[in-house]
Chain A
Amino acid sequence: EAGVAQSPRYKIIEKRQSVAFWCNPISGHATLYWYQQILGQGPKLLIQFQNNGVVDDSQLPKDRFSAERLKGVDSTLKIQPAKLEDSAVYLCASSLDRRGSRAFFGQGTRLTVV
């Protein structure tokens, strides 16, 4: 089975610039997650989608971060404008919407803001 695809793999931008990340979840997975992982820490949820609806975006800095999930499949996460503290790995994951399901993670996008 194909895994969760993310692109780009690496991105370097200057502060105040904008950036977008793309995620293609596993086919049939209704739930999609975006996590931010700062160096040395565990991943932290930014936003969770159920099909194309937002379930939880309580930890998403909405003044600069936005995300959408088109037609309940692919998703994009955008940062505008970026700050130095946004340097992190952005992980996308997907799961089935059923009891005991597990999440499958992509390789992540490593963002460096300079």
Chain B
Amino acid sequence: DAKTTQPPSMDCAEGRAANLPCNHSTISGNEYVYWYRQIHSQGPQYIIHGLKNNETNEMASLIITEDRKSSTLILPHATLRDTAVYYCIVRVWNYGQNFVFGPGTRLSVLP
């Protein structure tokens, strides 16, 4: 079972920041937080991941709380092409560990 909890759906106005929350209250010290998204009819696409510190790349920012029990993915200026299902995954790097997907959050970016 997935170790994360996400809202099933969210809306965001085009051009505004989209803030997608994720709860992972049972995360252990060696588990990374990963974010993927899946646009209709495509395979999941990697967005960003982190362990303790906040991370930023060309696609998004990842904010992890100090206790690591929750995180927020931020898309700074959402576009219509960001409409997708977003998955938050926690995963330890260890032999045999895979990426466990929950139902994710369906983000709709509205014009």
Contact = CB atoms under 8 A, between A and B. Distances in A.
A105 B43 contact: yes
A56 B101 contact: no
A102 B34 contact: yes
A48 interface: yes
Interface residues of A, number: 26
Contacts of A4: 43
A41 B2 CA distance: 12
Given A42-B87, A100-B49, A48 B96 contact: yes
Secondary structure dominating the interface of B: loop
Contacts of A108: 42-43
Contacts of A42: 2, 85, 87, 101-104
Interface of B: 2, 32, 34, 41-46, 49, 51, 85, 87, 93, 95-96, 98-104
Interface of A: 4, 33, 35, 41-45, 48, 50, 55-56, 91, 93, 98-108, 110
Given A42-B87, A105-B45, 5 more contacts: A43-B44, A45-B99, A48-B96, A103-B99, A110-B41
